[in-house]
Amino acid sequence: MSRTTPIVHYPEPRISQFLFASRTMAPFWTLVRIYLGWLWLTSGWGKVTGGGWIGAEAGGAVRGFLNRALELAGGERPSVPGWYAWLIENVFLPNAALMSHVVAFGELLVGLALIAGFLTGASAFFGGAMNAAFLLAGTVSSNPVMFILATWVVLAWRVAGYYGLDYWVLPRIGAPHGDLGAGRPRRGEDASESHGGG
């Protein structure tokens, strides 16, 4: 007979509830979400409408970016990790045209989803993953700021899309209202209030 260890549930700290699950903070996270979405949207739109990213020219801009990253992987103080350089050389560069479309349309879709507040946590996560990929390739630019904002929006997923499509979408996909572990509060009540303030 096997012995099972009881699962211990630790209550979420009040400061965390307030910052990431309180309706009071929903307007703040809405502004952060829309700002981050706008950054992604404008970046993706520039790639989709500019040259070298989609269509017959797809892959040109990505090859230049990735070849630069390979240069940064060499020398005494490489800024691109060796394992990532291997990925660039053996996975990304041979599929530069595909990667080009993925990046251009990925940025556009993440931007649109964040602005609309659609699957906000997942959208911010995929945006942050793109930021991490760019950072690993040695590109700083606005990526650190966008990565930090994306991480915060992921933490605040329960209320970041409150004033957006998530208000209707999350309950339909099984994220119940007011459940700190899986959903976010109904309009008119804080997540902490729906749990008796504790």
List the pLDDT tens digit at each of the 198 positions of the chain. 557 888 887 888 889 889 998 899 999 999 999 999 999 999 999 999 987 898 888 888 899 999 999 999 888 888 899 999 999 999 999 999 999 999 999 999 999 999 999 999 999 999 999 999 999 998 888 999 999 999 999 999 999 999 999 999 998 888 754 443 334 444 454 444 444 333
> Residues 154, 23: contact at Cβ < 8 Å?
no
> Residues 161, 114: contact at Cβ < 8 Å?
no
Residue 5 lies in a domain: no
Instruction: Give the per-residue pLDDT at 2.
Output: 58
Residue 8 lies in a domain: no
166 vs 159: CA distance, rounded Å: 9
What residue spans of the chain are helical by DSSP H?
Answer: 14-21, 26-49, 60-72, 82-87, 96-116, 120-136, 143-155, 157-160, 166-172
Residue 194 lies in a domain: no
Identify which of 86, 92, 90, 43 has the alpha carbon closest to the alpha carbon of residue 66: 92
Domain housing 75: 22-183
Q: Angle formed by the axes of helices 120-136 and 143-155, to 10°?
A: 150
Q: Considering its fold, how many domains does the chain have in total?
A: 1
* Residue found by looking up tokens 């903070």 in the block: 25
101 vs 92: CA distance, rounded Å: 12
Residue 12 lies in a domain: no
Instruction: Give the per-residue pLDDT at 192.
Output: 44
Residue 7 lies in a domain: no
Instruction: Give the per-residue pLDDT at 189.
Output: 47
Both tokens of 168, joined, read: 């209707």
Query: What single letter denotes the amino acid at residue 147?
Result: F
Residue 188 lies in a domain: no
Instruction: Give the per-residue pLDDT at 51.
Output: 79
Residue 11 lies in a domain: no
Residue 6 lies in a domain: no
Strands (E), the chain: none
